[in-house]
Structure 1
């Protein structure tokens, strides 16, 4: 597996300051990590494989002795490690920074993790900044409450912005291929969603460089091909796998280790060293499913390019996303009963454990008929997992469940969900009633607006225009509908939205939002700047 050699400039978006009505982040919203990490505490959220750990390590390295990096996905005395790091940072005061990575991979129960973070905040030296990194879907409300209770408003939450087309071209050029040609191939293969994050982009570029390879268009195909390639790839510690049967055996062995790692929360594997109680061993590998034969020898599985060296002569998976896909494949192949699967995946109360949300999403992607009921309990987690659900029936089920929860004001953090790529035949019929029915909650109707704009449902643009023009609707909803309509379809000279600029004095609104919609509609439909001046007025709200 080739690593991309040139780091890109990545950007983050502040959740608090970002515009609720914006369809995509503007340049003003984009922050470098160094510019974003300025307050007492900063939380970094991103999907798996997006590059948050790489970004955080770069920041820590740039600060030298003034910063310390600790991953929470390891064993040992975490509290002692962190307190020691804080003591070392105390002399640096306002220049110091403590980075705690991989909160979603912590082996601590959630209550203990929240207690640990509470201790860290309490003992944080004056001026030293705290940075926490976690997967978006696994950010714990308990930890969030601890931070805000202790620090109030001095907690910033940053989301990592996905790679742009320009980033993809830069990546590919650094990889040794024509970036523009690669981007065109990606577009032709309808594989653009697979270029949003660096890890999947690496897989895609490896496929593109392979002689005669046809780019995959789904995540499942992408991971299958990447894992097969990693099983075959020459490794200094072993001979390359010789045939397809051996490749499959090595993949199945890696899947067995992935399941073992996931449900024991042990991330490393030892070959011959004595058992330290922290890593997994060959005995663990053999005893996981004693009724099934071992797929491939333990040393051979660890010798594939699916694994890399870790600390203390142990091995670990090259990336957590690879382990999660392998675990889901292996669980699917085992044909477990629903009772057995629920015992593995669910916490008391029936919800999916944060650490297994991506595995659950992969199970649905691999076999929707068997695993589809996992979707009902926590649909937002499946969007946050960034696993592509390609089955149309389950896209429908996912969106329907999200809208029902929003209608009941039960969908927390809905504004931060990525709702793109969920189209299916009939999606407009599902969404339309939420746009037009005033008995639906404001949360559900706003969510419906986002589904329309983020999935480019141009067939509903007239509904958005009608919503923006209706005097019976709340101003906040009219404004959101108008702005999203303008972004969805370029306005024509006869668009009704232009009239909002001419009725500014008749609109009962404090912030002139609808006037702004009307002015934008006129500007984008080729009204001259001189004519636009006729519609300007003194602001209703001077504050």
Structure 2
């Protein structure tokens, strides 16, 4: 499924319609702020986006076009989720790094736009999935520029918006010369893309779009991974679930039964229940150990990959729904060839997507009723300043755990509300959503934000009690002595993102308060304009 992708310069609003789809004009016209992905990636750039929006797939199309182009350029994609050290990074990037001259003391801070028309392209994907800390990763970027003459190298970096910290932003600017002027936010799909994708899958486009609207599944249809799952579900079931958890719960057990067009389900090893439980265990071990995948060979040749031997799982008794069975080699090999896994080289495979791996891991942990004490040991680590937090590569897993078991929400959200807020769209429980808002407010009030103004990339956090929650928070914040604006900026952003019109008078009063900093007053005025109804704008 090949869809045209677009982005907007970071800091600019993404123009979307009421369903969250990218606005498009008739014909081949587009809005001025919207940039075709190919144009954005013509020089070194950073591509940001929400979880699951398709950053990796979008950049892989750019990489493929460059590799197959007339110049036959040398291009390398490095999955930072598989990188654990500086040695890993340089080994995986060796095909391009080996062609660069050593760094010279007189070189500029990074490649200029004129110098990026090069035969060398390095794509650094999955910054937010790297097991190294942001500070370590920033150091590696600086080391690259100190070791190699990067003026001949084009760099493309993909990262989840909330994980692109000020530390990384500064390091990328210093090492590679990529400033905010070359940083973009990947836009969601257009509504027209639904019809294109449906035709590509062999589905009736009109009936599919009607099903999306009937189920209220627009949020799922505007990103490529979940759109693909929606289409698979529609073709199987002629109806669609409205929540992400329901979609994955239906689509992934069906996907594990797909093993090529020539294999009927009855020919596959194991029942659907057995295959799905096995897939969940394999994905869980990969995610929690940091392994790239599983190898079925006794001697896998790719020493750069961390692969679990198939013997790790042989003879294990599995059973979570009353059906107990022993995991055997034919079952594992068959599951690894299913649509839930993709190749990791000869005789090796790993989870096909980070979101799929996180969901399968959460299902395995929930189905086995892993107690809270063990989950805390798996998920909660001490950060650089000694405070407990959830490692970046486990944020999505934590959100899936809350989606599947809302009773886990209070302690996970209380430990690291910013981590869960990144994936708040996964969570349907209103109490947990309220806890996320409380946690973000508490963080903004008491602690300097560790990722800059992280809420600028927050997803909407609407729940039934949000208006009262934000009204109380705003009243409390404006009554405190003037000592900082982080909390008020977060409150105003949440009011605007969720269009809480009932708080317009309080927001307007803040905009008119001459005792407040000018930047805060401007933000309040912008917020008031967003929540003001059309009738109020005309008065």
Structure-1-length-normalised TM-score: 0.78
The 8 Å contact of residues 66 and 95 in structure 1, kept in 2 or not, is answered as no
| 3-state SS of paired residue (1:359) | helix
After TM superposition, the structure 1 = structure 2 runs for residues 5-404 of structure 1, keeping only pairs within 5 Å, are 6-8=2-4, 10-15=5-10, 17-18=11-12, 27-37=31-41, 41-64=44-67, 65-72=72-79, 73-74=81-82, 77-88=88-99, 94-96=116-118, 97-106=121-130, 113-122=137-146, 123-139=148-164, 143-150=168-175, 154=179, 156-211=182-237, 213-233=238-258, 235=260, 240-241=265-266, 246-275=271-300, 278-286=306-314, 294-295=326-327, 297-349=331-383, 350-385=388-423, 387-404=425-442
Q: Which shows bigger deviation, 200-209 or 162-171?
A: 162-171
Cα offset, 1:394, TM superposition: 0.5
CA deviation profile, 1:409-439 (whole Å, cap 9, x unmatched) = 633332432332x222211110013334523
Cα offset, 1:442, TM superposition: 2.7
CA distance in 2, matches of 1:103, 1:408: 28
Which has more radius of gyration? 1
The 8 Å contact of residues 48 and 160 in structure 2, kept in 1 or not, is answered as yes
CA deviation profile, 1:226-269 (whole Å, cap 9, x unmatched) = 11111233546865158999212211111110111012222222
CA distance in 2, matches of 1:428, 1:363: 27
Cα offset, 1:346, TM superposition: 2.6
The 8 Å contact of residues 345 and 353 in structure 1, kept in 2 or not, is answered as yes
Cα offset, 1:460, TM superposition: 3.0
CA distance in 2, matches of 1:331, 1:115: 35
Structure 1 partner of 2:108: none
The 8 Å contact of residues 421 and 458 in structure 2, kept in 1 or not, is answered as yes
Cα offset, 1:472, TM superposition: 5.9
Cα offset, 1:367, TM superposition: 0.7
Q: Which shows bigger deviation, 56-65 or 372-381?
A: 56-65
The 8 Å contact of residues 238 and 300 in structure 1, kept in 2 or not, is answered as no
The 8 Å contact of residues 260 and 288 in structure 1, kept in 2 or not, is answered as no
The 8 Å contact of residues 43 and 158 in structure 1, kept in 2 or not, is answered as yes
Structure 1 residues not aligned, in runs of 5+: 496-520, 526-543
Q: How many residues align?
A: 487
CA deviation profile, 1:493-541 (whole Å, cap 9, x unmatched) = xx4xxxxxxxxxxxxxxxxxxxxxxxxx45xx6xxxxxxxxxxxxxxxx
CA distance in 1, matches of 2:382, 2:115: 42
CA deviation profile, 1:59-94 (whole Å, cap 9, x unmatched) = 23333434512223447854134244134367x954
| 3-state SS of paired residue (1:186) | helix
CA deviation profile, 1:273-331 (whole Å, cap 9, x unmatched) = 53556322221123888999645632232243322334223222222211110001101
Structure-2-length-normalised TM-score: 0.79
CA distance in 1, matches of 2:89, 2:436: 38
Structure 2 residues not aligned, in runs of 5+: 24-30, 102-113
CA distance in 1, matches of 2:527, 2:409: 35
Pick closer, same or farther for the CA change 1:141–1:331 going to 2, 3 Å. farther
CA distance in 1, matches of 2:195, 2:212: 11
CA distance in 2, matches of 1:259, 1:32: 37
The 8 Å contact of residues 74 and 95 in structure 2, kept in 1 or not, is answered as no
Structure 2 partner of 1:419: 459
| 3-state SS of paired residue (1:203) | helix
What is the RMSD computed on CA atoms of the aligned residues? 3.7
